[in-house]
Chain A
Amino acid sequence: MSASNQTSIKLVLLGEAAVGKSSLVLRFVSNDFQENKEPTIGAAFLTQKCTVNDRTIKFEIWDTAGQERFANLAHLYYRNAQAALVVYDVTKPASFIKARHWMKELKEQSTKNITIALIGNKYDLIMDETSGEEIDGARKVSIEEGKQLADEEGAVFFETSAKTSYNVNEVFMNIAETILEKMDNAKPDENPVAQTQNNNRIDLTAPSQNNINDNGCAC
């Protein structure tokens, strides 16, 4: 019954253009990095399976376009999402402001129970490779600012580098663990809540339904 242990997590990436959303996904999905990655038009979709606590997690990742005018479309992708990565560039203060807006929008518009991670990417740009210390003045958004914003919105906070792969897997693992925990907590006694959620929308990512599907396939 290994298939019954598989859980799908729909995850969406949001953030300003060129902060490295697609690169984070590429690093996570293919363990690869491209210096000049084409901008995402509309959105890209990728999947990746991994194992957390003996359970197989299938990430269904919507990687959205970052330019402001595409923000109009983002709700198409974060509807029904269980997790969101709001990404900014630690060397670009403007991208942090945009991250704040995304956090607000998610709070207002997305699923109530959504798990959010705030990601300060391009950590490699502020690190001196040889000394292993931060380059003076390279960092434009402090860790404290990031942590504070994450705390305010009940999100977890990471600084990452898609280029060096620093913290990238950790982000996804943390998300997976948090969501598994939420699911386990929601399962036993809070049936009414779970039921109404299921009735409201055809949620293909809900674990119970998935299990049935997977069982069907496995047979």
Chain B
Amino acid sequence: MDFFKSVASLAQNAIESINNPNHLTPDQLMQGFFHVPSDEKILGEINVDYIITSMVLYSFSDSIKSAGTYLPVPHNINSRRPGKLTLTQNYLLIKQNDSTEDKIVFHLTSINKVQKLPNAETLHVRVSTTNGMILDIMCDTIRSKAEHFWHTFNKQHNLNKEDRVKLESFQRTLYSEYLISKNCKNSKLGEKHIDIPQHPQGGLGLKYKFPGNESREKEILKLKRWFEYFRRYGRNLELVQNHIFNSLLLVGIPNRLRGEIWETSSGSIYYRYQNAEEYENLLEENKGKHTLAIEEIEKDLNRSLPEYSAFQTDEGIDKLRRVLTAYSWKNPDIGYCQAMNIVTAALLIFMTEDQAFWTLNVLCDKIIPGYYSKTMYGVLLDQKVFEGMVQKTLPLLADHFNKYDIQLSIVSLPWFLSFFLNTMPLVFAFRVMDSFFAKGPKTLFKVALAIVKINSQELLECTDDGECIAVFKNFFASLDEITPEDHKIKRKFDILWEIAFNDFQMIDDRMIIKYRNTFKNEVFKGIDLFVKRAEIRNLPDTPHLNKEQISNIYDRYYRILIQDSNSPNRGNLTMDFDSFEKFMSEIVPWVNMERETRDQSSFLKRLYKNWSNENGEMSLESLVVGVNKIVNRDLMNALSNFFSLYDTENTGRINKETVLEVAEDLIFITTPWRDGKIFDTIANRELEDQIAEKIVQRRKNLIEKGVEVSETEEISLPDEVKFDEDKWKTKQSVRYLSASSSFLQLAFKYAQPYENPDENLINLDDDDEDLNDKRKESITHNKALDPTHPVYITPSMFRMVILANETYSSFFENQFWKSFDLDSPGNITDSVFGGMVGNIRGMVNNVMADGVRVASQVKKKMGDSRIRADTAASSESGASSFAQSETKGNGIYRTSIDSKGAESVMTGWTLESGALGDNFEDHDIDNLLVNNEEVGLLGNNESEPEEEENEDDEDDEFGNFVPADNEKRLADDMNELNLK
């Protein structure tokens, strides 16, 4: 599910890429206004007055000669305009002060002459370009600052001079230069131009005809206007954009020039000029590679503007494939989105592949960021913006839509995604694009609003989405129809166009940004939720986790990924070890980020490795599956899973060194219990018993005094009872230490030698008897600790060893899985951990709160206090949670033994039979658990009991406390052991 994985940093990226003027740097604002590439930085900025002139413009002042009549005759040619002059690495830029649209962009390479003109008051500089543009700049600032600016300019200009050759060959690819070259050969105006004998390469339209049936005359008229514009105000890399330029865009660009004007007004021409080889290189470098994007592109190649003849040929399809593929390499985060095929196909009618590639880049990354992204947040957000604008500008209609639950956004989405290319007849969609590349998304909003406005009468009669769609469908099909209006004959499209740019003038970038900010959070939230839902749905089944727990893991996983991601622009899709450690520290009490120990990292590394996917990476899926495994509440499964953490080769055996590691890790994960931060079930039961005992004591005292005691009396803790917290902590701590020691001893007692380490397991079947003999021999001699005789333990042995120890077995039965706090989304706190109690007061409170159990204890004790040791002989249940567990067993005895044993442990691990012997004789059959542990320990020091006998003991012991459903498994384990 690559798609879902890449949205980790979605929210962050999205917020950054939506133009928020408050967050944009001056560089970004400059790039946005002039459409220059995003690596251009402001190197200098001064206020100036400027005069634009050119040889052709100059000729107008000399009223004798005229240079064209297709554009209005320019007046006030020599007028000074105030503006801001900006220098970047590669560009000299001017923004006219009192205009939001007038601007000049000169690439430094195209400037061939810079003169300082004599002027007493201000610094006056004349800049001339290769194509005859002349810019007089009067620096309206303190002289030193102005001189510094021009000094920097000279430095940058010199750096660019080397590119002169590059410039000329680039100009040869441009239709504007070809037009000038063809028509100015005999011009007497002295314009400079390069000779281009051959028609430069262009779009598929040159060969397959351009869509629509524009008359030759009209096309030529349009070309003449642009030709005049180029002569007067420059072109491509040295261009003045003023109101004439804008009105030329609005009346429609001639087909032959369309490609170049699109790339000039969008600024993609600057990228193409500065990255000449990149397109071809991208294709070359990634040849033969396969990605999801490429698969998706292939599916759509045959269905991109299929009605246009070029896209029924290999030539057209191949071009489309190359451009889309190259873009998917250039921007893998977007890859390929349906609609890009249609847009690119449209570009290729007017542009070469190289031009289309860079225009697609600028389009996706600059003009409409987020539209084609994997979550499509950009286009979703703009649909909300659009609905908001309809509400604002056409409130009656908006109310009607609300009333009938009509969602305009589902109708308008395709308009925005493909710039009307698949809704309007192509010729009209191209007109939208003419304006769109220069003005950005506000064109789309204006046109969309105009469409709604024109059809408002019909729309007011619609009562569902379907009817609205029908209205729009009819409208789009009739755009070419002629309607008389205001004594003029106009096409419906022309009326639409007028409404868009007259009635909706107020729609500007600032308004769009304002609305985007309003709806941003709503949209992101919706997407986040969708992505989360989909990703969780696609996870494998994890029976030990509920939906909420998975949701919490999901949230935590991505929160940590985003926090730890070094590059916020790229979703870090998998969790590295450090993040994993952090994750674990947030959900379990035995991992502490501030106290990193060797044990901690070695155990976590083991988990990380065990849970990671086949690539060794921790994805959300591997994490959820891993957690699911470790919180398995079935004791036997939990133990098998724990064993498998160490059985990395899957041999069903772990060797001596690994057993030692298991022991160390067990000590590590039980740290909070050893430290007395969490009390386990055993401590709880003991406390319960003691409380019951105290209550019994009090009642007896009362009875002795002749006070009537009701059976139903409320269970309350006698005030005088105090619990010594430290004592309880120490007691539990000692119990855990003792458990770890007996774990090792038992493990090595049961450990089997590798029969023949050199020959390994190959001969196993051949001489069974022989091996069995050897095994028996090994057992009797217990060579476990002899380094020359390697030994191993199996999962069943491991289970036996754990089950043989009450503390560890109870730890796995109801402490370990519970220590994973998956129910709270936030950070864990120290005192309460997943409902586990970390202090004695809390434990007492818990015991008292659950009065039923204490009451039953009390009742029992009251019933026959003399023979209390004989009651409840076999009553340990295998309930998996201490909240549910019925404790009828005789805890006091057990605990007293435990603490005695613990004392011995504390006195230096010397376990003498005598020390335990008293208890051994004293306690009865239900204490076999401890009994057995001791027998095991005794066995090592004293004469070992007969095998048979030992096994009988174990049978009884396990029969006592192993849950019924595990009995069979256990029987199997026992069989395995018998074999040996």
A144 CB within 8 Å of chain B = no
B375 touches A39 (CB 8 A): no
In A57-94, the 8 Å CB interface with B consists of: 60, 65-73, 75-77
A35 to B301: give the CA distance in the assembly, Å. Answer: 12
Q: Is the CB of B534 within 8 A of A71?
A: yes
C-alpha gap A67/B300 in the complex (Å): 10
Question: Would A69 and B303 count as touching, CB distance under 8 A?
Answer: no
**4 additional contacts, CB 8 Å, given A69-B375, A105-B537?**
A37-B306, A38-B342, A75-B530, A204-B404
Q: Give the interface segment out of A42-50, A121-129, A169-177.
A: A42-50
User: Are A70's CB and B338's CB within 8 A?
Assistant: yes
24 intermolecular pairs with C-beta atoms under 8 Å apart? A17-B299, A18-B299, A34-B306, A38-B304, A38-B342, A38-B422, A39-B341, A40-B338, A41-B414, A41-B417, A41-B422, A42-B410, A42-B414, A45-B469, A47-B466, A60-B464, A60-B466, A67-B338, A72-B376, A72-B530, A76-B407, A77-B410, A104-B537, A105-B534
Q: A72-B530, A108-B533 in contact; A37/B376 too (CB < 8 A)?
A: no
Contact residues of B between 524 and 574, Cβ < 8 Å to A: 527, 530-531, 533-534, 537-538
A202 within 8 A of B: yes
Most buried by B among A41, A68, A109, A204: A41
Instruction: Check if B527 sits within 8 Å of A72, measured CB to CB.
Output: yes
* Cα separation A45 to B300 with both chains bound (whole Å): 20
The one of B339, B380, B404, B530 in contact with A41, judged by C-beta atoms closer than 8 angstroms, is: B339
Cα distance A68–B3 in the bound complex, in angstroms: 8
Contacts A108-B533, A202-B405, A204-B404 known; A73 to B413 CB distance under 8 Å? yes
Chain A residues with CB below 8 A from B405, complex form: 201-202, 204
Question: How far is it, in angstroms, between the C-alpha of A71 and the C-alpha of B422 when the chains are bound?
Answer: 20
Does A101 count as interface, using CB distance less than 8 angstroms?
A: yes
Pair B376/A70 contact, Cβ less than 8 Å? yes
Q: How large is the interface on B (under 10, 10 to 19, 20 to 34, 35 or more residues)?
A: 35 or more
Bound complex: CA of A141 vs CA of B763, how far in Å?
Answer: 46
Is B341's CB under 8 angstroms from A69's CB?
no
Tell me how far the C-beta of A86 lies from the nearest C-beta in chain B, rounded to whole angstroms: 15
> How far is B338's CA from A60's CA once the two chains are assembled, in angstroms?
24
Would A204 and B410 count as touching, CB distance under 8 A?
A: no
Q: Is the CB of B342 within 8 A of A43?
A: no
- Are A72 and B418 within 8 A (Cβ)? no
**Docked pose: A76 CA to B339 CA in angstroms:** 19
| Cβ contact within 8 Å between B407 and A67 | no
Q: Which residues of A contact B530 (CB under 8 A)?
A: 72, 75
Q: Which of B461-511 contact A (CB under 8 A)?
A: 463-466, 469
Contact at B410–A36, with CB atoms within 8 Å?
A: no
Taken together as a complex, chains A and B put the C-alpha atoms of A70 and B340 apart, in Å, by 13
Known: A67-B296, A76-B407, A105-B534. A38 touches B414 (CB 8 A): no
B538 to chain A, nearest CB (A): 7
Task: Say whether B302 faces chain A, with CB atoms less than 8 Å apart.
Answer: yes
The CA of A109 and the CA of B534, in the complex, are separated in Å by: 11
Query: Which A residues touch B531, using CB under 8 A?
Result: 72
Given contacts A69-B337, A72-B527, contact A101 B296 (CB under 8 A): no
Those of B411-452 within 8 Å (CB) of chain A? 413-414, 417-418, 422
Is residue B374 within 8 Å, beta carbon to beta carbon, of the partner chain? yes
Assess the B464–A204 pair: CB atoms within 8 A. Answer: yes
A34 to B306, CA, bound (A): 10
Q: Measured between alpha carbons, how far is A69 from B379 in the docked complex, in Å?
A: 12
Identify which of B303, B341, B373 gathers the most chain A CB atoms within 10 Å of its CB.
B303
Which residues of chain A come closer than 8 Å to B300, judged between CB atoms?
17-18, 39
Residue on B nearest A203 in the bound complex, by CB: B405
Residues in B whose Cβ lies below 8 Å from that of A202:
404-405
Could you say which residues of chain B place their CB within 8 Å of the CB of A75? 530
Tell me the complex Cα distance, A127–B328, Å: 36
Q: Tell me, rounded to whole Å, the shortest Cβ–Cβ distance linking B403 to chain A.
A: 8
- The 8 Å CB contact of B375, one of A36, A72, A201, is A72
- A36-B306, A101-B537, A105-B534 are contacts. A42–B375 as well, Cβ < 8 Å? no
**Contact of A73 with B376 at beta-carbon distance under 8 Å, contacts A41-B339, A108-B533 already known:** yes
The contact string, 1 if C-beta is below 8 Å from chain A, for chain B 281-321, is 00000000000000010011011111000000000000000
Kindly report which residue of chain A lies nearest to residue B301, judged by CB atoms: A36
B3 to chain A, nearest CB (A): 5
- Bound state CA distance, A136 and B414, in angstroms? 41
Q: A69-B375, A104-B537 are in contact. Are A38 and B303 (CB under 8 A)?
A: yes
- Tell me the complex Cα distance, A76–B413, Å: 11
Asked if residues B380 and A73 are in contact (CB atoms below 8 Å), the reply is yes
Name the interface residues of A104-124: CB closer than 8 Å to any CB of B: 104-105, 108-109
What's the least CB distance linking A33 to chain B, in Å?
A: 13
Minimum C-beta distance from B376 to chain A (A): 6
Contact B303 A36 (CB under 8 A): yes
Return the CB mask of B385-411 against A: 1 if under 8 Å, else 0: 000000000000000000011010110
